[in-house]
Structure 1
């Protein structure tokens, strides 16, 4: 890679991964749209209550996938893939047991009331039972991308999402399956993605495969450390939703939660774009670090920052100009109160994206250069250490507007810390090597 045009490689990997991640994030967005149309505001509120568990499952898969893929890129040890699959099996059993036995108490714990409990528990049970496929899909996406096949990863993600959209429509409208249909369609999407990803094992260029080896605790810990920031990035979305749901429920009731559901699900798509940038860069950063090419590391960080800022500005402008139109897509009942809350929230909430994107980028950079400690610090600060107290303080002072302002205030504080950590590790990129 040292002799190749790093900008062209960056554009290829990042663009393919952004497209794929947008497609992957559309799983929940499709559910949001079709549930809004077919079930109504109560279904929308129930979906928003259940989403944190989906984020946790997705995050667990990314933690194993990103952690394993980073270590695989740095060492090319075949046993890493096998250890990742062992790890995924353990996590899958835990999620399955939760889905089969604890979906109702879990729904109550997440904030479901008598009105939303049935829909929430139905959605959770199906999603948790499909957790093994979600996790395995994320692992294979990461390994296939790092094995010089980002195009197949993108195709698999898009195919899974497209199937979800089609099945959502079929299950909710012609078949009338409601929340069960939405969850079942989402659960089937990683299965279709896995079928496409499996083609990589038949290619001659494939460099990873299952090996005969024992489960090693040391490898599991190593994978967890390298992928921990990816887990926290996803988990933080779930934690924020849980905390905000509780606060909004007390301030504006289920209509407020439904309005936040619209904002949260659109936010997941934007976060997926930022995640797509960082994941697309990861194999390039890890390879440059392995080759001790600081010149490329500096350029990759620069390209990632510019890309993130451009997308943030475009997204915010769209939220200012078209907030009412966006909200109307998810407001099938034409509820004026829901529309008013969601439009106002969208325009305040989206001010955070420039800071969110850079924090995710710096986080991924530290993980990719084998410095998981700094990535974990940034992830935990933005995931729950800072955002939870800020949410309670601002909501008590400014009500709903305080809730919407929380993400921006938190991410600004974390960005200052991120830049400080990056400055302390400036030796990674300041000693140029051509």
Structure 2
């Protein structure tokens, strides 16, 4: 990737970012689909239904990471393009702190109130033990979920989108093969799928963190001035993406509850497969926006309006083709 997005071909920049964004999103969707397929083969429809109960949790956790990552990285790129390194790194520091606080709250909530939350998401007396078994190893790494999205946003804006996608690829590949090995090879069932998922997301975080030890890393911790105002800015900038993402989790939760009330776990298992397949389509739209964001942010900071309009043109073309 060229380091300066205010120069060079917009088309080249955009489609490079689009490729890595789409690749990272696709891997996440595929390993979710593999989870459902493997658990369904081992546990039957009830296993697939249990994963459908858990699925909204990931969406909500990811949306919180998107809130802090997208909200902060927009300003990070804006300041970085203007040469204001301290202000840019203050945005990163604030996002890191905010994500840490959110992660701790989520960790406590999903550890202490797991029964209540799973019942809220639609679990009954039969599905609750299966969902808890799947969650057991994942509960140790709950903070990793918002951090994957936050770090991915900053790595993309730190001229390392390919590395962010590579980190997702590493975790996703381990999850896919780990599912097969733990579930069938070691006969661990749905617990094995949860274990593979936990190790996979930990591996993703470990690879992302290694970026901070590379020579290309420009992200640093910096003192944050006027923390309250900057937090409001962060939330405002990330709010639209956050709302659209968390809405999907809430809608899935409501569907889970209604399907369990009227149709039962077999129908929920079918719905779970449909949701995973629909995620493959959604990853296209997610990639379109993710590819445009760093280019628009950097060019906006130096008032290159024509380059912004050109980026928008390619985004609209891609979005139209997807539809």
TM-score, scaled relative to structure 2 = 0.90
Q: Quote the residue 1:145 is aligned against.
A: 156
Q: 1:32 aligns with which of 30, 36, 46?
A: 36
Q: Deviations over 1:308-341 (max 9, x none)?
A: 2323xxxxxxxxxxxxxxxxxxxxxxxxxxxxxx
Q: Quote the residue 1:52 is aligned against.
A: 56
Per the alignment, in what secondary structure is the counterpart of residue 8 of structure 2?
Answer: coil
Equivalent residues in 2 for 1:8-407 (5 A)? Answer: 8-76=12-80, 77-211=88-222, 216-311=227-322, 354=323
Once the two structures are TM-superposed, the CA of residue 128 in structure 1 deviates from its matched residue by 4.3
Contact in 2 for aligned 1:107/1:120 (Cα 8 Å): yes
TM-aligned CA distance change 1:33 to 1:2, over 3 Å: same
Q: Deviations over 1:276-310 (max 9, x none)?
A: 22112110111122222222222222211221232
Q: Distance in 1 between matches of 2:117 and 2:209?
A: 34
After TM superposition, what 4+ stretches of structure 1 lie above 6 angstroms from structure 2?
none
Answer 1 or 2: higher relative contact order, Cα 8 Å, separation at least 6: 2
Once the two structures are TM-superposed, the CA of residue 125 in structure 1 deviates from its matched residue by 4.6
Once the two structures are TM-superposed, the CA of residue 53 in structure 1 deviates from its matched residue by 0.8
Contact in 2 for aligned 1:67/1:227 (Cα 8 Å): yes
Contact in 1 for aligned 2:6/2:295 (Cα 8 Å): no
Q: Deviations over 1:34-65 (max 9, x none)?
A: 11111110011111111111111111111111
Per the alignment, in what secondary structure is the counterpart of residue 4 of structure 1?
Answer: coil
- How many residues align? The count is 312
Unaligned runs of 5+ in 2: 81-87
Q: Deviations over 1:355-408 (max 9, x none)?
A: xxxxxxxxxxxxxxxxxxxxxxxxxxxxxxxxxxxxxxxxxxxxxxxxxxxxxx
Q: Distance in 1 between matches of 2:79 and 2:133?
A: 43
Question: Aligned pair 1:4/2:15, yes or no?
Answer: no
Per the alignment, in what secondary structure is the counterpart of residue 143 of structure 2?
Answer: helix
Q: Quote the residue 1:344 is aligned against.
A: none
Q: Deviations over 1:41-96 (max 9, x none)?
A: 00111111111111111111111111111110112321111111111111111111
Contact in 1 for aligned 2:121/2:254 (Cα 8 Å): no
TM-aligned CA distance change 1:132 to 1:250, over 3 Å: closer
Question: Please, what is the CA RMSD of the aligned residues?
Answer: 1.9
Once the two structures are TM-superposed, the CA of residue 215 in structure 1 deviates from its matched residue by 9.1
Q: Deviations over 1:337-358 (max 9, x none)?
A: xxxxxxxxxxxxxxxxx3xxxx
Q: Distance in 2 between matches of 1:287 and 1:85?
A: 21
Once the two structures are TM-superposed, the CA of residue 173 in structure 1 deviates from its matched residue by 0.9
Per the alignment, in what secondary structure is the counterpart of residue 292 of structure 2?
Answer: helix
